[in-house]
Homo-oligomer: A and B are copies of this chain.
Amino acid sequence: MKGSDKIIAYVNQFVHLNQEEELEFLSKLSFSTFKKGQFILRKGEINKYQNFILKGCLKTSHIDENGKERVLTFSIENWWSGDLYSFLSEKPTQYFIQALEDTEVLRITKPNLEMVYSKIPQINIMFRILLERAYIAQQERIIGNISESAEEKYLKLIKKYPAFEQRIPLKQLALYLGITPQFLSMVRNKIAHTPNFFK
């Protein structure tokens, strides 16, 4: 499936576009590829794009004064990636975005997105829905982070996003959960050796 078909199929999950609108939207997107390990965005830069992932996996993370890294999100096929705050406000980002796999994206700049908004109100609606969902997902994660043990958080994560278990290295998952890789390794082992841990 071509990239343009993929994103149109994605958009159609939320709103309906006629052919003219589809072409208008596609004309504002550009295609980019990133090698595994490559940085798409670094702290201090202004995030000029929202990236729709056609193939691959991106990690958005934060690194504090002591060099401690924490993962805010992993983004895979059919997700958007990009620091929304920096994108909207045109201020420097606090985050790094890095490819965990060879990755292909369709990306849009702020001026182009604004042009699309004015010509295709449906796209506005789609992004409003996406923002609502992102907001509520964040709230759920906050509740989870302050309620659950590492084991519960891990089980919930791989239940919500089954692809992550196979696809994302243990170390990176630990950075997302806020635990040490050593401890996550123990947790996995315990789960694997506990009969009927699925219930």
Contact A138 B136 (CB under 8 A): no
CA distance A134 to B136 in the complex (A): 12
Contact B72 A143 (CB under 8 A): yes
CA distance A88 to B136 in the complex (A): 12
CA distance A145 to B145 in the complex (A): 7
Count of identical protomers in the assembly: 2
Chain B residues contacting A136 (CB-CB under 8 Å) are 85
A interface, how many residues as a size bin?
20 to 34
**Known contacts A145-B146, A178-B146; A132/B85 CB under 8 A:** yes
Contact B147 A64 (CB under 8 A): yes
Instruction: Name the residue on B nearest A136 (C-beta).
Output: B85
**Known contacts A64-B147, A178-B145; A139/B138 CB under 8 A:** yes
Q: Which of A139-163 contact B (CB under 8 A)?
A: 139, 141-143, 145-147
Chain A 64-92 interface mask (CB, 8 Å, partner B; 1/0): 10001010100000000000110011000
**Is the CB of A183 closer than 8 A to any CB of chain B?**
no
Instruction: Name the residue on B nearest A66 (C-beta).
Output: B147
**Known contacts A88-B132, A132-B89; A138/B142 CB under 8 A:** yes
Chain B residues contacting A143 (CB-CB under 8 Å) are 62, 70, 72
CA distance A131 to B176 in the complex (A): 24
CA distance A145 to B72 in the complex (A): 11
**Is the CB of A135 closer than 8 A to any CB of chain B?**
yes
Nearest-CB distance from A137 to chain B (Å)?
Answer: 10
Sample (25) of A-B pairs whose CB atoms are under 8 Å apart: A62-B143, A64-B147, A68-B147, A70-B143, A70-B146, A72-B139, A72-B142, A72-B143, A84-B132, A85-B132, A85-B135, A85-B136, A85-B139, A88-B132, A89-B132, A131-B131, A134-B135, A135-B138, A138-B138, A138-B139, A138-B142, A142-B145, A145-B146, A146-B177, A147-B178
